[in-house]
């Protein structure tokens, strides 16, 4: 048996980052950039008004107040998207809308709330009273203030969030080079498995693992390919495991313990390479890892919770690495254990548990009563995996313990 750390390190050492692909802007959301994104223009592209108001010469309104308003002649109305035609001279102003180009001659904008219209409602040919002074450049967004043409606005390795999508759009990129989503093959094994639409007969159970795994793959940013069920024969198992090469990664469930019908390990040794198959952990000590024709292969145990915990600890970080992420692990937090726990001394435990904030920045944590690895309820109701180290057999209430937050993404700590 190897430790969880050694298993994780072995897995990650076998994983390489997938090749980039160019995808439409919106499809890049949540993915990792494979190249810098360079702007083709200055942003802002021209000096423009940050407010609805009047473009004027700041020297004209020096010392202006409510009581000592300065009257300016209005020479033009400039909506957004329209090029100004007139130069603003001394004693003049142009009515201007947010985002409209600042006319030549003007060096500040006073917002409309600090003005009072006179003749002609403050429109062209009329006049306006300015009730405040203005600083040079006030309310003007300068050309190239945010970005200069040729600047990189997004950097290789950055994760594309909504603001990055907007930035890329503003600098003329309709598509982006990002790392590929891992294509993950999912195979369940077992003679007892029936489809979700079927009522299980005697000795049968529904194949829930294909679904929970596919959901975990989607949740980790991958593309699940459910290949179906391998029966507990070498031929059936070989037929599905032999397809590993069509995918970036293959995950199977069941058939890796020492039961008479556990053929996954046997077939893997025959058509691929087995790196390890037992990890000192609970749930799910049998965790096979290897490669089939160069494709990383995970043989997770069959019990539904063991399957999900194995995915969480080993497959998810591997998928994130493939997709170009550098933060591969969920945030961890210390919490005070609310009850005693007895455990096997030689195993790391990952209890399904609920972390509750105490209000002062600390947390308490309680494990679900029923820790059977056959039950998904505790996994569903919990929000963390409570990790208890090997080397201990009894952890008393009040101890400080470490929890892996399943309710937060990597890089959000």
Q: Which is nearer to ligand AMP, 89 or 228 (CB)?
A: 228
HEC-encoded secondary structure of 336-368: EECCCEECCCCCEEEEEEEEEECCCCCEEEEEC
277 and 265 Cβ atoms separated by less than 8 Å: yes
Helix (H, G, I), strand (E, B) or coil at 234: helix
Q: Is the dihedral of CA 213, 214, 215, 218 positive or negative?
A: positive
Is 304 a binder of ligand AMP (CB under 6 A)?
yes
Write down the least CB distance from residue 230 to ligand AMP, Å: 10
- Interaction residues for ligand AMP, span 92-121 (CB under 6 A): none
Residue 207 contact among Mg ion, ligand AMP, none, beta carbon within 5 to 8 Å by kind = ligand AMP
Shortest Å distance, C-beta 5 to ligand AMP: 24
> Which residues are registered as beta bridge partners of 18?
none
Question: CA 121: distance to chain centroid?
Answer: 51
Tokens of 141: 């967004």
Round to whole Å and give the CA distance between 99 and 21. 35
Q: Can residue 253 be called a binding residue for ligand AMP (CB under 6 A)?
A: yes
CB of 256 to Mg ion, least distance (A): 9
Q: Which does 205 bind (CB under 5 to 8 A by kind): ligand AMP, Mg ion, none?
A: ligand AMP
Q: Does 207 bind ligand AMP (CB under 6 A)?
A: yes
Q: Rule CB under 6 A: is residue 409 a binding residue for ligand AMP?
A: no
Q: Which stretch binds ligand AMP (CB under 6 A): 37-45, 72-80, 130-138, 208-216?
A: 208-216
Report the nearest approach of Mg ion to the CB of residue 299 (Å).
11
- Residue 188 contact among Mg ion, ligand AMP, none, beta carbon within 5 to 8 Å by kind: ligand AMP
Which of 210/387 has CB closer to ligand AMP? 210
The listed partner (ligand AMP, Mg ion, none) that binds 192, CB under 5 to 8 Å by sort, is: ligand AMP
Contacts with Mg ion, residue ranges (CB under 5 A): 190, 254-255, 302
Beta partners for residue 160, in sequence order: none
Lateral strand order in the sheet of 53-56: 108-111, 53-56, 92-96, 70-78, 127-130, 115-117
Q: Nearer Cβ to ligand AMP, position 134 or 214?
A: 214
Three-class secondary structure of residue 249 per DSSP: strand
Residues 137, 140: Cα–Cα separation, whole Å: 5
Burial class of 125 by CB neighbour count within 10 A (0 to 12, 13 to 18, 19+) = exposed
> Can residue 382 be called a binding residue for ligand AMP (CB under 6 A)?
no
Dist. CA 124–CA 269, nearest whole Å: 85
- Among 359, 304, 313, 306, which residue's Cα sits nearest to residue 332? 313
Of the residues 125, 142, 245, 259, which one makes contact with ligand AMP according to CB under 6 A: 259
Nearer to ligand AMP, 313 or 322 (CB): 313
C-alpha to C-alpha distances, 10 to 22, 44, 390, nearest whole angstrom: 31, 49, 19
Q: Considering the rule CB under 6 A, would residue 257 count as an interface residue with ligand AMP?
A: yes
For residues 56 and 293, what is the distance between their CA atoms, to the nearest angstrom?
72
String marking each residue 385-404 x if it binds ligand AMP according to CB under 6 A: --------------------
Residues 262-301, one symbol each (x = binds ligand AMP by CB under 6 A, - = not), give ---------------------------------------x
Q: How far is the CB of 237 from Mg ion (least distance, A)?
A: 10
User: Which stretch of DSSP H or E encloses residue 385?
Assistant: strand 384-388
Q: Site for ligand AMP (CB under 6 A): which residue of 21, 52, 192, 410?
A: 192
| Chain residues 306-365 in contact with ligand AMP, contact rule CB under 6 A | none
3-state class (DSSP) for residue 245: helix
How far is 76 from 49, CA to CA, in rounded Å? 15
Contacting positions for ligand AMP (CB under 6 A): 188, 190, 192-193, 205, 207-210, 253-255, 257, 259, 301-304
């Amino acid at each position: 048996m190897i430790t969880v750390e050694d298993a994780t390190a072995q897995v990650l050492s076998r994983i390489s980052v997938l090749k980039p692909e160019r995808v439409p802007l919106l499809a890049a959301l949540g993915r990792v950039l494979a190249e810098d994104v360079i702007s083709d223009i200055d942003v802002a592209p021209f000096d423009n008004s940050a407010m609805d108001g009047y473009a004027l010469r700041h020297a004209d309104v020096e010392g202006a107040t409510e009581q000592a308003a300065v009257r300016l002649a209005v020479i033009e109305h400039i909506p957004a998207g329209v090029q100004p035609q007139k130069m603003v001279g001394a004693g003049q102003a142009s009515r201007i809308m947010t985002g409209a180009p600042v006319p030549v001659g003007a060096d500040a904008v006073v917002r409309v709330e600090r003005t009072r219209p006179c003749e002609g409602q403050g429109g062209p040919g009329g006049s306006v009273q300015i009730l405040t002074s203005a600083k040079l450049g006030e309310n003007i967004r300068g050309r190239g203030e945010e970005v200069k043409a040729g600047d990189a606005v997004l950097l290789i390795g950055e994760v594309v969030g909504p603001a990055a999508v907007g930035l890329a759009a503003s600098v003329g990129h309709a598509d982006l080079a990002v790392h590929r989503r891992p294509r993950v093959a999912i195979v369940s094994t077992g003679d007892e498995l029936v489809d979700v639409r079927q009522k299980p007969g005697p000795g049968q159970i529904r194949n829930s693992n294909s679904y929970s795994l596919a959901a975990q793959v989607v949740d980790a940013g991958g593309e699940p390919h459910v290949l179906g069920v391998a029966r507990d024969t070498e031929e059936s198992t070989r037929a599905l495991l032999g397809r590993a090469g069509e995918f970036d990664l293959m995950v199977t469930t069941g058939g890796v313990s020492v039961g008479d019908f556990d053929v996954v390990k046997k077939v893997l040794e025959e058509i691929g390479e087995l790196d390890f198959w037992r990890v000192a952990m609970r749930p799910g000590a049998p965790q096979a890892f290897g490669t089939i024709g160069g494709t990383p292969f995970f043989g997770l145990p069959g019990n539904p919770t063991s399957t999900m915990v194995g995915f969480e600890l080993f497959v998810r970080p591997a998928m994130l690495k493939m997709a170009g992420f550098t933060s591969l692990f969920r945030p961890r937090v210390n919490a005070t254990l609310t009850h005693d726990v007895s455990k096997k001394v030689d195993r790391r435990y990952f209890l399904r548990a609920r972390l509750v904030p105490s209000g002062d920045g600390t947390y308490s944590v309680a494990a679900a009563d029923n820790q059977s690895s056959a039950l998904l309820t505790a996994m569903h109701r919990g929000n963390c995996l409570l990790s208890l180290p090997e080397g201990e057999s009894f952890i008393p209430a009040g101890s400080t313990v470490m929890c892996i937050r399943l309710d937060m993404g990597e890089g959000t700590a």
